[in-house]
Amino acid sequence: MREKDLDKEKSIIDEVSHIILKEGIADVSMSKIAKASGISSSTIYVYFSDKEDLLKQVYLAKKRQLAAFLSQNINTKPNNSVKFVQQFMYALYDFGMQYYEALMIIEQFNNSPILDSLKIKKEESYQGFEQLFEAVKHTPEFVISSPAVILGFVYAPIVLFVKALKTRQIDNKTIMIDQVVVMCMNALLKK
């Protein structure tokens, strides 16, 4: 068996990411990946067992990138859950503005029926996010107590806002991130 080259593995993941952004997840094929990467299809199988394994690794790589960014840009041991959720939203916004393609790949997977077929375990999907969920546990200030629901609730509007900015549907002078954060917090906080 051939030895794996981590640079080549990353290169394959990057090429798949480009194909996903350009053509969508459903149009990813091993032959397209091989052609775009300049390698043979058999070389891809040295790194990934099949197309589903490759797609799974692309998704998890982008999720790890997001988790690492958030962990670096948020105080994961806050003394105030409300401020933590606000930090989460601002950090997610910064990630989207800096790494828009990675965020859009995550979104394509999150909105695709293919995600279910990849058999990603919950632990794999949330790897790196554990501290974020822990930071919003037992939060009496919010109308809901589930960390996954709280963070998921604020995730969606931030992603939509970033996408609208990046695709020039809106400009950040008309609607600012601060307004989106306030709107989300108003919906989450008990009155």
88-97 pLDDT tens trace: 999 999 999 9
- Relative orientation angle of helices 6-23 and 30-37, to the nearest 10 degrees: 120
Rounded mean pLDDT, 136-162: 91
Predicted pLDDT at 4 = 67
Exposure string for 31-69, b = 16+ CB within 10 A, e = fewer: ebbbebbebeeeebebbbeebeebbbbbbbbbbebbbeb
Rounded mean pLDDT, 62-84: 90
Whether 59 shows a pLDDT value over 70: the answer reads yes
Predicted pLDDT at 7 = 82
pTM of this structure = 0.91
Q: Which amino acid, one-letter code, is at 148?
A: A
